[in-house]
Structure 1
Amino acid sequence: MNDSPAIDYQTIFEHAPVGLCISRHRVMQVCNRELTKIFGYEAGDLDGQSFQILYPTADEFERTGARIVPIMNAKGIYSDERIMRRANGDLFWCHVIGHTLVPTDMHAAGIWTFEDLSGKRKVSAELSPREREIAALLVEGKTSKLIGKQIGLSPRTVEMHRANLMKKFTAATSSELVHRLLGAVNQ
């Protein structure tokens, strides 16, 4: 005899301890309570909304969408840490993982998770959208050459942005910059 309760996937989805949503063509179809809480919205507010509402700028939304496709084509899954925007406009670091449900069209349908990293990592300097993008890739350990190739900039331009980040975070070395971006060193 099996005394285990029946599995109710709707309850599991709704009460998961991580932000979850199902998307179609970069539009959130349904979001769980934790996702709306992370981003400062009420239950149901994000259902039917474009992911763009969660990005600091429309340009960052577009560039991230383009960056996701080749990685998902290769792996079927995408993961990164990026700066996102809450309903009140506050920016925060977020760990995002996505899995496509349609391998031939990465944005057709997917499952996405969001984890708020603001308790571990603060957004402490005023950054341009391009600096936020480069900062996220530096945290992944990528070189200027790899970053440039991935986002369509010359390594020299990436180095210029890295130098600006180092000034803003008062970091003497690239390693120190990454530590400060990760929140490991007080500013």
Structure 2
Amino acid sequence: MNEFETLAFDHAPMGIALTEHRIIRTCNLSFADMFGYKKPDLIGQSFRLLYGSDEEFHQIRDIGLKPLSQSLPYTDERLMLRSDGSRIWCRFRARTLTPERPLARTVLSFALIEDSDKGPQLTSRERDILLLLSKGQTSKEMARTLGLSPRTVEDVRSRLLKKFNVKNVAVLLSRLGGFRKPDT
């Protein structure tokens, strides 16, 4: 890259990272600043560093694979972990360079969501329900999967709708991105 290309990449108005199998191979200064790290400290690190738990890191892995494997971009909104332990609410976008193996080489971008830098705080139970909702499971199926009563699942769904200030699950999933069909 020439000097101007390097400047444009490092100072883009969003964080950009190139990953291989969820390992950060390079990133721009905006990405490092957003997450509170120095750029060299991120290179070679697993993206696990930016998630609150191993469970969260593993659960989110499969959410965008279908569009990526079809050479489509994937977008959602998510809470990410900064170096100081605080969370940031950001818009996440991904495009794979290897659709046959979507996570082999991926270009990712992160932009802070303007009006809220934290987003709703989710409990582990809420994250579990959200993941199963994204997979199209019914309340009864989720209850069986998680060993809960269907009423408990309904209560958690209701809390999620209130937290995200939406009227139904379809709008919730659409807002969290990637779960809607791509425009044709």
Question: 2 CA distance for matches of 1:82 and 1:9?
Answer: 29
- Mapping of 1:1-187 within 5 angstroms? 8-117=4-113, 119-123=114-118, 126-132=121-127, 147-149=134-136, 154=142, 156=150, 158-165=153-160, 169=163, 174-175=166-167
CA shift digits 1:106-165 (9 cap, x unpaired) = 000011100112x41253664213424756x8xxxxxx9x53527995384653322344
Cα distance, 1:174–1:158 mapped onto 2, change above 3 Å: farther
State the 1:25 CA deviation.
Answer: 0.5
Q: Which letter does structure 2 place at the counterpart of 1:27?
A: I
Maintained 8 Å contact 1:148/1:154: no
AA partner of residue 154 (structure 1): M
Secondary structure of residue in 2 paired with 1:175: coil
What is the CA distance between 1:77 and its match in structure 2? 1.7
Where structure 2 has 5 or more consecutive residues not aligned to the other structure, the ranges are: 144-149, 176-184
Q: Is the contact between residue 147 and residue 158 of structure 1 (CA under 8 Å) also seen in structure 2?
A: no
CA root-mean-square deviation: 3.5
Distance 1:131 1:13, change over 3 A: same
**TM-score, scaled to structure 1:** 0.71
Distance 1:68 1:158 in 2: 24
TM-score (norm 2): 0.72
Aligned partners of 2:138 and 2:37: how far apart in 1? 31
